[in-house]
Structure formats: structure tokens, C-alpha cells
A and B are shown apart, each in its own frame.
Chain A
Amino acid sequence: MSKRKIALNEYSQEHLLYLESIKRKKLLISILRYALFIIFIALWEVLARFNIIDPFIFSSPSRVIQTTINLYNGGELFMHIGVTLAETVLGFLLGTLAGTSIAIILWWSETIQRVLDPYLVVLNALPKIALGPIIIVWIGAGMNSIIVMALLISLIVTIMTVLSGFMEENAQKQMLMKTLGASKWQIFSLVVLPASVPTIVSALKISVGMSWVGVIVGEYLVSKAGLGYLIVYGGQVFKLDLVMTSIAIISVLAALMYFGVSWLEKALINWRSHSKG
């Protein structure tokens, strides 16, 4: 049952040493993490300053910062970030919503699931980027095409991950629900869905990354604004500072979104254990 609570001063000397060693290891790892980042940035700056690498091709941290400031002063920075972010978030949300809904339908009807199975396998193997030109022709050159791109890239993976989560929610617990006389809907809402929360969240983590791929590729193909547009434009006019800056901004944004999902994960799991359904 509940472990006996022991005040710190009751621990043996050996146990205190053990705790101390854990703490030290943790500290060491954090220090090394930051050090790696700082060394990388510093090395990049120094090598560029002393022309060991060509700053025109490789850019440098100070040039990236300068470019960011210039973009900000020109009033473009938040416009580009806003466009890309809106596309990614919309693509991600729509992909997750559609993917989860389709997974629910497939869980519900074994017949539909078996009919669609080969199509899912082929669509999963197909590089969705190949559909880019078709999407642009059908939907038109603009933001909508890019959002659809992001949606498509994350859709199939979401369906497959979420469905496998639903399916593994084991036969035994469903048997229990049947012994209680539960309807299919009750089995789904009381057991399968709450039990699949961790799988759904891991699907979200995958599709955040996928949506970024979809959006950036979409912006490569067709766009007049956004970070992907800046990268393509920067590459064409040989302004590598602009390319590097955009990549740096994307890294920060992608990381933030990932942390957002992680936060959501904690919140959902908390919610799951505090709701009585």
C-alpha cells in the first residue's frame, strides 16, 4: 500500500549518498545540454568571423540576429511567422480531427476497416508531397492548398496510430463491459477512448512534425509569404542569411508547438483520472 513516509533525517547515510549521486547526475546532464548549444553557436560565430568558413554561404549567429532585426524593422517578421503558424496549426488541427474521426469510424465497423485497409496501406506508403501539384491545380495557388498539404501529410499517420491504439485496447476490458451489459457506444466512451489518450497524444506529437513538413513544402511550391517562402526566396537570390534565419525561427516555433502538445498530454491524462465520466 502507501509507502511509509520517512523524514529526510531518518534516511541512512548510504541512502543520502545515493540521492546525492542522482542529483549530481541530473545536474551534469543539464550542464552538458546547455554547453553543447553554446559551443555550437560560439564555434559557428568564431569560424565565420575568422573566415574559416565563408559567412556568405554559411551565415553566422550574429548575421542571423541582424537579419531577424531587419525583418522586424521592415514589419515583415511577424507577418511571415503568422502566415506559417496559422497554416501549420490549422493543418495540424484539421488533420488530427479528421484522422481521429476516421479512426473512430474504422473501429466501429470492422467491415469498413477491412475494405479500406489496403487503401490505407498504399496511401501511407505514397509520398504525399507527390500530390502537391495536383492539390495546387485543384484548390488554387494559396493558403488553402498549403493547409490541405499539411492535413494530408498528417492524416494517414494519425488514422493508423489512433486506430492501432483503439484496437489494442484489449478484448478483455471490452469483455468486462459486455458482462455489465454495455452498448458499443458505452464501450467506446468509457473504456476505449480514455484508454487511448496516451496513443492519441503520441499521434499528435508525430503529426505536429508532419504538419510542419506539409506547410514548408507547400510554401516551397506556392506562396507569397511565410517562412517556407523566405527560405525559397533566400535560396534563389543567394541570401543565405535569410535562409538560416528562417530555419532558426522554424526550429523555435516547432519546439514550442511540441512543448504545447506535451503540456496538453499532461493536462489530458490529469483530466482522464479526475473525471468520473
Chain B
Amino acid sequence: MHPLVEVKNVGLVYHEPHAETQALKNLNMTVNEGEFVAIIGPSGCGKTSLLSLLSGFIKPSEGEVLIRGKSIDETDASKSQIGYMLQHDHLLDWRTIEGNVLLGLQVKHMLTPETHEYALELLNRYGLYEFRNHYPRQLSGGMRQKAALIRTLAFSPCLLLLDEPFSSLDYLTRLKLGDEVYKIIKSEGKTAILVTHDIAEAISMANRIYVFTQRPASVRSEYNIELNKDNGALATRNLPGFKEYFDTLWKELDHEQTKNRAE
């Protein structure tokens, strides 16, 4: 049985007219089915590049990225199994919430009465059903982001990539939505990779955390978060042990951030 995601010795170089940037180098990581993994690292270290690799729109310069043991470019089908959630919801303002939620299905030519029904059921399950005929501008930031999550879940991806999905929200909404998204992902039994620069958010949601180095990024360290998350992400923040993790990770990141400056 293969792990869901394997990243093996991956290197990534960006080419620009006046520069060549090594974004990732010797990156190794594994994500198993059902895990919630968070990636934290200094800003601009290449976390988003990793997600682009995983979703298959860029190819690694070295090494390989495998989904269930298969290279991403081998099967186009694997692409459709990956759901990507961006920093902003990017709901199309001329479509209703229902229309927006169906967008992914429509693009992938997967829109059938069954999948349509499933999308509506998701809206219902997570409290957006009565807003299905509203337009995005009529919804609050948190609700919009939740609609964006449902748009991603509607095509039943096996892996969710979350690229700082809460960073455009105000603090209170951010905490609440983080909690809610965590519960949704868990109850749908999805595997997720969260990229964030918010240490507390990472600890409260993930069962494993990778700390990345400065660019070119590789894994600096890996932590298993052994906190009981049955009561959701928000409750985790009050558990004993949360602060210890926070302090450890804070030091890790701080070292990484100051390392280059000292050199």
C-alpha cells in the first residue's frame, strides 16, 4: 500500500530572464491517507511552490512527486482528485452560490444529477443551503470561504491542498472558520495539506507539522502533534501541551529566519 503523497528528493528551479531561483532542494515528505499535515516555514520559502507541484501545474526539476505511487503527470485522472483552496475565495460574482459550487464539476465535465445532488447536500450539511440562490457579495467573508471549500469538496477530491485559506479573514472569523473547516474535513474523511505561517493554526489543525528551511526549501524538522482534537481545532488551543508545541515551533522558525541574516 502506497502512502497517498510521496515527495522524493524534489528540487525546483524557476527561470526568469534575469534570475534563476532555486525554490526547493532535496525535499522529502510523505502524507498518509486521512492525515492532516501542516507546513510552516519562513515567508517566501517555497511552500506554495510545493502545492503547485502537488497539483501538477508545474513539474519538478529533479526528483519525483507521487500520488498513490503514481507520478502526477502519468495520469490526468489524478489531477482531478486534488482540490486546491486558495487564499481568497475567488467566487464568481455573477454566479449564485449554487452556480459557484458547481463550477469545479462543470469544468471537469463531471456534472450529473448525482453530483449536483451531492453538492446541494454539502451546502445543506454545512449551513449554506438557504443561501444557494444568493450572490457571493451578499455573503460574509467566512461564508464565502466556506462556499469555496464546498466548491472544492463537490468533486470528491482525495487530497485537499489549503494555501493559507484563512489569511484574508479577520481574526475572529479566522478562528471560527478554521474550526469549522477542520470539522468538515474530518467528517468528510479527507486528507489535507495546509500551508500557513500561523503556528497556532498549524498546531490546532494538523496531526503532523513539517517545518521548512529558508529558500531553497527542504524539510528542517518534523513534529507529530499528539493532542486530542476530537473537540475541534478551536478547543485544541486550550489543551495542555499546546503552548509547549507553540514554543518549540516558534524557536525552530525563529532560528531559521535569523540563520541567513547572521551569515
B62-121 with Cβ < 8 A to chain A: 79-80, 84, 86, 88, 90, 92, 94-96, 98-99, 102-104, 106-108
Are A1 and B140 interface neighbours, CB within 8 A?
yes
Tell me, yes or no, whether A180 is within 8 Å of chain B by CB: yes
Say yes or no: B107 contacts A194, CB within 8 Å. Answer: no
How far, in Å, is A200 (CB) from chain B's closest CB?
14
Neighbouring B residues of A1 by C-beta, 8 Å: 138-140
B223 on the A face (CB < 8 A):
no
- Count of B residues near A, CB < 8 Å? 24
| Alpha-carbon separation in the docked complex, A151 to B55 (Å) | 46
Q: Known contacts A172-B88, A176-B86: does B135 contact A190 (CB below 8 Å)?
A: no
How far, in whole Å, are A264 and B95 apart by their CA atoms in the complex? 19
Chain B residues 10-39 with CB under 8 Å of chain A are none
Question: In the complex, A119 Cα to B226 Cα: how many Å?
Answer: 65
Query: Which listed residue (B88, B108, B138, B139) contacts A181, Cβ 8 A?
Result: B108
A173 to B93, CA, bound (A): 11
Given A1-B140, A181-B80, A181-B107: A194 and B88 interface contact (C-beta under 8 Å) = no
Q: Is A191 an interface residue (CB 8 A)?
A: yes
A223 to B86, CA, bound (A): 60
Tell me if A194 and B94 are in contact (CB < 8 A).
yes
In angstroms, how far is the closest chain A Cβ from the Cβ of B228?
Answer: 33
Q: Could you tell me the dominant secondary structure of chain B's interface residues?
A: loop
**B57 part of interface (Cβ distance < 8 Å):** yes
CA distance A144 to B124 in the complex (A): 60
Inter-subunit contact A180/B95 (CB<8 Å): no
CB pair A277–B86 under 8 Å, yes or no, is no
Report the nearest A residue to B80, measured CB to CB: A181
CA distance A194 to B100 in the complex (A): 14
- Give bound CA distance, A195 to B102, whole Å: 18
* Distance of A218 Cα from B27 Cα, bound (Å): 68
A175 proximal to B (CB < 8 A): yes
Question: What residue of chain B has the Cβ atom nearest to residue A276's Cβ?
Answer: B99
Chain A residues, CB < 8 A from B108: 180-181
CA distance A272 to B99 in the complex (A): 12
- A79 on the interface (CB 8 Å rule)? no
Alpha-carbon separation in the docked complex, A2 to B135 (Å): 11
Q: Does B92 lie within 8 Å of A194, measured CB to CB?
A: yes
Residue in chain A with minimal CB distance to B143: A1
Interface string of A160-183 (1 = CB under 8 A from B): 000000000000110111111110
Residues from chain A with Cβ under 8 Å of B57 in the complex: 178-179
B104–A180 CB distance below 8 A: yes
Q: Interface digits, A190-227 against B, CB 8 Å rule (1 contact, 0 not)?
A: 11001101000000000000000000000000000000
Asked if A273 and B95 make an inter-chain contact with CB atoms under 8 angstroms apart, the answer reads yes
Q: Taking beta carbons and an 8 Å cutoff, which residues of B are in contact with A?
A: 55, 57, 79-80, 84, 86, 88, 90, 92, 94-96, 98-99, 102-104, 106-108, 135, 138-140
A residues in contact (CB < 8 Å) with B:
1-2, 172-173, 175-182, 186, 190-191, 194-195, 197, 269, 272-273, 276-277
21 interchain pairs, CB-CB under 8 A: A1-B138, A1-B140, A172-B86, A172-B88, A176-B86, A177-B107, A179-B57, A179-B84, A179-B86, A180-B84, A180-B108, A181-B79, A181-B108, A194-B92, A194-B94, A195-B94, A269-B94, A272-B94, A273-B94, A273-B95, A276-B98
